[in-house]
Amino acid sequence: MIKAVLWDFGGVVTSSPFEAFNAYEAEAGLPKDLIRTINATNPDTNAWAQLERSTVDLDTFARLFEQEAAALGHTLDGSRIIGLLHGRVRPQMAEAVRRVAERLRCVCLTNNFAGGGLMADQGRVSEVRAVQAHFHAIIESSKVGLRKPDRRIYELACETMEVEPVEVVFLDDLGVNLKPAAQMGMTTIKVVDPDDALDRLEAVVGFALR
């Protein structure tokens, strides 16, 4: 029996930052998906991983990220990358979170960074806070010093929700983050198309989410 739903935030509850990455790459004359390639290179120790574990500040991240791009033969503005992360809340996902929270344990598990903020867009701030209010807990990599796909952060999530992995369904937009959760026994849903993901989630939890 499913007792809890674990949600990634960016790319699941909000729109994917990958579109913004691609737009910047096109603007700067960089190869498509370069930023994703950098993030996938040395993923446990690279600038992105260090930022999400709060072992470097934003300025250091920007410098390190630029160095990683240079190692691949490209020049970019590391300080621009942070601003590309803030998507808009997907209304159907916000409603699904609300309905899940009424019946099951509902927790957010997100890789994020200290000092990222919610941007100056007050409309987005309100949207995000409204969704966050429904989560029974929010587990942030920048605060716990662990990040997906480290198995320990999934164990922490289960402890927080007071459930066993087999009682959890986990939604994330990255397969690399879903793999360890599945190995632990969680039901996993990769979010590519939000409506398709909600179809699958409804089938798992057994009640309507829209």
Amino acid at 205: V
pLDDT at 115: 65
Give the C-alpha separation, 182 to 17, whole Å. 24
Decide: 8 and 109 in contact? Cβ < 8 Å.
yes
In CATH, the number for domain 4-15+87-205 is 3.40.50.1000
Instruction: Give the CA-trace dihedral at 110, 111, 113, 119, to 10 degrees.
Output: -50
Q: What is the pLDDT of residue 117?
A: 47
Q: Encoding tokens for residue 83? A: 């601003």
HEC assignment per residue over 74-119: CCCCHHHHHHCCCCCECHHHHHHHHHHHHHCEEEEEECCCCCCCCC
Q: How far apart are CA 123 and CA 140, in angstroms?
A: 22
pLDDT computed for residue 21 by the predictor: 94
The secondary element (H helix, E strand) that includes residue 137 is strand 137-140
pLDDT at 125: 80
Instruction: Give how far Cα 47 sits from Cα of 41, 63, 78, 81, Å.
Output: 10, 9, 10, 12
What stretch(es) of the chain map to CATH 3.40.50.1000?
4-15+87-205
What is the reported pTM? 0.86
Predicted local distance difference test score (pLDDT) of residue 118: 42
The CATH classification number of 18-83 equals 1.10.150
Residue 86: the pLDDT is 78
Question: Are the beta carbons of 168 and 2 closer than 8 angstroms?
Answer: yes
Give every residue of the chain whose pLDDT is below 70, as ranges: 115-123
